[in-house]
Every structure is written in C-alpha cells, then in structure tokens.
C-alpha cells in the first residue's frame, strides 16, 4: 500500500492521510512512514483520538523511548515516556512546570549526551486561536550557507545549555532553571552534523547555545546570531496550526522548532510528547 502524502510547505513537512496510528502496521508499511519521515523532516497525522498507551506504542516504532530523566518535572507521573507540555495547573492549583516548554528555538534533548532522534507531539487541548509550533529545516539552513561560512563552522562545537528558558527565568522558573543546570551539565555538540540515515549535513544550533567551545561568548555571539537568523528565514519554515488529535512526528536531527506563545494564556493548551532516543553525541565541558 502506498502512503498518501500531502506536502505542508515548500520547505518541509507532509501530512500522512488516512492512517490510524493505533492500528496494527506491517514492517513494510511502517518502513514507508519512516522513509517519508526522513524525506520530509516532519509528518502530520490528523484525527488520532488515541490512548497514551497507543501513543507510546506507535512512537516505539521509531526507536527506544526516552524516560525523560533529564526533565523530571515535566514527565507524566504514570507514564515516564510521556512529557507534558501544558498550562493546566497542577492538582494543588500551582502553575504547571511545563507551561513555557519550547519557547525558544531548539532541537529536543540537545543539552544531553544522547540528543533525540525524533519526537511525537500530540495536541490534546488547543486554544481557540494560536499556540502554533514553528519548525525550521536545518538541512536547507546548512546547504544555503556560503562555502566560506561552511568552512568557518565545519569543526565548531556549540555549548548547549539546559535551563535557558527566558520567560520561566524571569517570571517563575528560577529553581527549575537551577535544578536543570545541575541535572544536565553543559555539553558541546557539533554545529554541523551528518544525519546518520540520510548522510546529509544539517546545522545544529538554536537558542540554547551561547558560545562555541574554545571561543568566548563575545566572539561567538555574532556568528551564532547570524546562523540562527539565517536558519529561521521564512522560506525554511513550516508553521503548524494545531487541531485537537493532531500528532506531529519530527526529526530532531535535521529540524529545530519553537512553541509560540501566541495565544490567550487564560485558555488551555495541553500537549503530550514522546521522545525517541538518538545516538550519543557531543562531549561534556568542564564549566560554563
């Protein structure tokens, strides 16, 4: 059976039509889905009214799942494979720890020694308008750089930091940020990485990188700012407007993403994510 795909934007993404991810799937059929995932960087599955177990089972087709030890406050208490991204207050009425998750350009788990292969985010409660997620194609970002810039960054490593959320730090998240820094010490990741399945080179940066290993923050900043600005040019982007029961699977090895705070915070936004483990990468750096 051939997959029915509908492109989401020129830059990236495809909707996989008429597939119920909770139904049994042959190896060959899942193989076609995985090929589409490699080709398009993100896949959208609409109308997936599924249980948490089914979300986890489908995600396991992509690989072993993270149990989110690096983000203990955000994992579901009964399903460690599920990461909550929600502004629903906790049972005691206090604000959710994950209400600002993803509000900066990033690739999941880049601040750990085993960055993620991919993530599967399910939209469960969606605000009336907004709460979009924006994705950037990091192959295009790399491939469209000049040869001079490619040479300059070829061997650089960006120091990826945990606990860098600006909003949370200012308003409420100081203990969380400190805890994050303890659990996840700084790690240097290559700025250019080769995708293990496609062999293509992709830029690997985002807002968690403040400097390159071996360079000062002042020296690094103009280059980091330029590369992040370049990578997020509108022509490299897909912006997703969520509907309830959408699932988006994205490849963290060649994309980065940002959760927009473009919605009325008195409305609920509740998302649940599984995170597929990638391969070990990067090296620890002594201090920041």
Binding site for ligand SIN (CB under 6 A): 85, 101-102, 108, 119, 121, 133, 257, 259, 271, 273
Complex with ligand SIN: residue 201 or 273, whichever CB lies closer: 273
DSSP labels, 116-166: EEEEEEEEEE--SS---EEEEEHHHHHHTS-HHHHHHHTT-EEEE-SS--H
Which of residues 69 and 219 has its CB atom nearest to ligand SIN in the complex?
69
Q: Kindly tell me which of 127 and 186 has the beta carbon lying closer to ligand SIN.
A: 127
Q: What is the nearest approach in angstroms of ligand SIN to the Cβ of residue 259? A: 3
Task: State which residue, 253 or 273, has the beta carbon closest to ligand SIN.
Answer: 273
Q: Which of 70, 79, 42, 35 is nearest to 239 (CA)?
A: 42
**Minimum distance, C-beta of residue 243 to ligand SIN, in the bound complex (Å):** 13
User: CA angle at residue 236 from 233 to 240, to 5 degrees?
Assistant: 105
Give the nearest distance from C-beta 118 to ligand SIN in angstroms: 11
- Comparing every residue's Cβ against ligand SIN, the nearest one is 102
Angle 264-104-57 (CA atoms, 0-180°, nearest 5)? Answer: 85
Nearest distance from residue 37's CB to ligand SIN, in Å?
A: 17
Nearer to ligand SIN, 82 or 140 (CB): 82
Taking the complex as a whole, the smallest distance from the CB of residue 180 to ligand SIN amounts, in Å, to: 14
Are 82 and 88 spatial neighbours (Cβ–Cβ below 8 Å)?
A: no
- Cα–Cα distance measured from residue 240 to residue 99, given in angstroms and rounded to the nearest whole number: 18
CA dihedral 201, 121, 3, 27 (to 10 degrees): 90
Nearest to ligand SIN of 130, 149 (CB atom): 130
Q: Nearest approach, Cβ of 173 to ligand SIN (angstroms)?
A: 15
Q: 108, 62 in Cβ contact below 8 A?
A: no
**Per-residue tokens: 243:** 């509907």
In 81-173, which residue ranges form alpha helices assigned H by DSSP?
138-143, 147-153, 166-171
Tokens of 112: 């750990």
Instruction: State the DSSP H helix or E strand holding residue 248, giving kind and residue range, or none if neither.
Output: strand 247-251
Q: Whose Cβ is closer to ligand SIN: residue 68's or residue 201's?
A: 68
Nearer to ligand SIN, 76 or 221 (CB): 76
Sorted by sequence, the CB contacts under 8 Å of residue 218 that are 6+ apart come out as none
**What CA–CA distance (Å, rounded) separates 88 from 77?**
15
Shortest distance in whole angstroms from residue 273 CB to ligand SIN: 5
Q: What is the smallest separation between the CB atom of 248 and ligand SIN, expressed in angstroms?
A: 9
Cα separation values, 143 from 140, 146, 220, 231, 284, Å: 5, 8, 21, 10, 28
């Amino acid at each position: 059976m051939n997959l029915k795909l509908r492109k989401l934007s020129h830059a990236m993404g495809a909707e996989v039509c008429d597939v119920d991810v909770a139904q049994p799937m042959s190896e060959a059929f899942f193989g076609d889905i995985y090929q589409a995932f490699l080709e398009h960087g993100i896949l959208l599955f609409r109308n997936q009214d599924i249980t948490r177990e089914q979300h986890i089972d489908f995600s396991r087709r992509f690989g072993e799942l993270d149990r989110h030890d690096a983000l203990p406050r955000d994992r579901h208490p009964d399903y460690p494979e599920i990461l909550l991204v929600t502004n629903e207050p906790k049972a005691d009425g206090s604000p959710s720890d994950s209400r600002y998750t993803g509000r900066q350009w990033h690739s999941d788990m880049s601040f750990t020694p085993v960055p993620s292969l991919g993530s599967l985010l399910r939209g469960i409660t969606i605000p009336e308008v907004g709460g979009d997620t924006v994705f950037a194609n990091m192959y295009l970002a790399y491939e469209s750089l000049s040869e001079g810039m490619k040479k300059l960054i070829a061997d650089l490593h960006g120091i990826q930091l945990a606990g860098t959320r600006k909003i949370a730090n200012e308003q409420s998240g100081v203990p969380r940020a400190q805890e994050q820094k303890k659990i996840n010490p700084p790690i240097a990741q290559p700025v250019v990485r080769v995708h293990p399945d496609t062999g293509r080179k992709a830029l690997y940066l985002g807002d968690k990188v403040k400097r390159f290993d071996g360079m000062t923050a002042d020296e690094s900043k103009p280059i980091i700012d330029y590369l992040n600005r370049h990578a997020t040019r509108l022509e490299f982007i897909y912006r997703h407007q969520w509907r309830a029961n959408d699932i988006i699977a994205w490849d963290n090895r060649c994309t980065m993403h940002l959760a927009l705070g473009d919605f009325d915070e008195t409305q609920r936004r509740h998302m649940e994510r599984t995170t597929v483990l990638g391969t070990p990468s990067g090296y620890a750096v002594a201090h920041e």
